[in-house]
């Protein structure tokens, strides 16, 4: 009788403990979703705050400078009495440096991705891929000094007319910096192609190279193109390399041997200068930043569209 009472008491205690645990668990189950929602809302509010700041300050700039003059003007002379705020010299410098970077990054990155995905053994892949991705971890200011102190003097020995600060050198170095992004994303896309497709093509008599170019790359084209677009977006937003190596000349030219300035370099110059808050020069900072934001946003939207439009699911 006593034993049965003790057992009943133990059972009641266990039930009470379980109820307490259940209550605590239910409280956590209610708190965690709200906490995660709050964190997500913080990121959304931060984005809205950035957009609000850019838009309001940009509108203040366009009250002083006509929007048509800003986007079609070929002269950028922000200082002096007859200041001019044409953004085309900055757009030209940004686009040319980004194109040079992609001319470097796309071939090297693609060849690296093809080797890692189709030709390298598992041991070689595990060794080479982390080494390649080390390039992405190097600070951009180091790349900037590398472009200015090593690449530019090296190029001047082959191109006598190359200026000490030019757009060619930082464009090449930006391409080197972007190689890991193009190679890694493209290799991931090609590695996701089922081996059955490779084996089927090989069984039909195709060579390894034919399988790569006619089967694997077309099947992984969405991921490959997305890596290109993301690489361009990364190049457009690069700051320190072009600030150090391309100079601050606001030339509207397509000559890659001359000094040019990009949008990011102009933002650094104005931010580090003596732009008085509320002046037209100060507001031009936000107008250029807004233009840069729109460019990178469009690049990301294009990458997402391509990924969805041409995605192959296996």
Which residue ranges make up each domain of the chain? 2-64, 76-309
- Asked whether the beta carbons of 193 and 222 are under 8 A apart, the reply is no
Burial of 237 (0-12, 13-18, 19+ CB in 10 A): middle
Confidence of residue 76 (pLDDT cuts 50, 70, 90): confident
What residues form DSSP beta bridges with 80?
none
H or E stretch covering 23: helix 2-64
Q: Looking at the structure, give the CATH architecture of the domain made up of residues 76-309.
A: Orthogonal Bundle (1.10)
pLDDT value of residue 5: 45
The predicted-structure confidence for 127-168, as pLDDT tens digits, reads as follows 888 888 788 788 888 998 999 899 999 998 888 888 888 899
Percent of the chain exceeding pLDDT 90 equals: 8
CB-based burial label for 197 (10 Å; 0-12, 13-18, 19+): middle
Band (24; pLDDT cuts 50, 70, 90):
low
Instruction: Please check the confidence at residue 100 and state whether its pLDDT lies above 90.
Output: yes
Helix axes of 280-309 and 88-114: crossing angle, nearest 10 degrees: 30
Which pLDDT band, with edges at 50, 70 and 90, does 27 fall under? low
The reported pTM is 0.81
pLDDT in the model for residue 4:
54
Residue 173: predicted pLDDT: 92
Of the pLDDT bands very low, low, confident and very high (cuts 50, 70, 90), residue 227 is: confident
């Amino acid at each position: 009788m006593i034993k049965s009472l003790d057992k009943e008491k133990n059972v009641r205690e266990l039930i009470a403990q379980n109820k307490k645990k259940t209550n605590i668990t239910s409280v956590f189950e209610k708190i965690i979703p709200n906490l995660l929602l709050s964190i997500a809302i913080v990121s959304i509010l931060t984005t809205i705050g950035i957009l609000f700041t850019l838009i309001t300050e940009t509108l203040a700039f366009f009250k002083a400078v006509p929007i048509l003059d800003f986007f079609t003007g070929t002269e950028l002379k922000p200082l002096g009495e007859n200041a001019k705020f044409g953004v085309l010299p900055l757009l030209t410098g940004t686009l040319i440096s980004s194109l040079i970077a992609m001319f470097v990054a796309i071939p090297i990155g693609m060849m690296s991705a093809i080797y890692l995905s189709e030709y390298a053994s598992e041991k070689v892949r595990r060794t080479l891929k982390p080494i390649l991705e080390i390039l992405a971890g190097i600070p951009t200011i180091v790349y900037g000094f590398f472009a200015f102190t090593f690449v530019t003097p090296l190029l001047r020995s082959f191109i006598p007319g190359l200026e000490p600060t030019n757009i060619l050198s930082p464009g090449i170095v930006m391409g080197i910096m972007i190689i890991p992004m193009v190679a890694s994303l493209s290799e991931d896309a090609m590695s996701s192609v089922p081996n059955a497709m490779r084996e089927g093509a090989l069984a039909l008599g195709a060579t390894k190279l034919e399988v790569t170019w006619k089967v694997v790359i077309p099947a992984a084209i969405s991921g490959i193109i997305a890596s290109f677009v993301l690489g361009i977006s990364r190049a457009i937003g690069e700051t320190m390399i072009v600030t150090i190596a391309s100079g601050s000349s606001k030339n509207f030219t397509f000559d890659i041997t001359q000094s040019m300035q990009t949008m990011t370099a102009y933002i650094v110059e104005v931010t580090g200068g003596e732009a008085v808050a509320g002046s037209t020069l100060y507001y031009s900072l936000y107008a250029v930043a807004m233009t840069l934001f729109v460019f990178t946003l469009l690049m990301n939207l294009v990458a997402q569209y391509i990924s969805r439009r041409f995605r192959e699911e296996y």
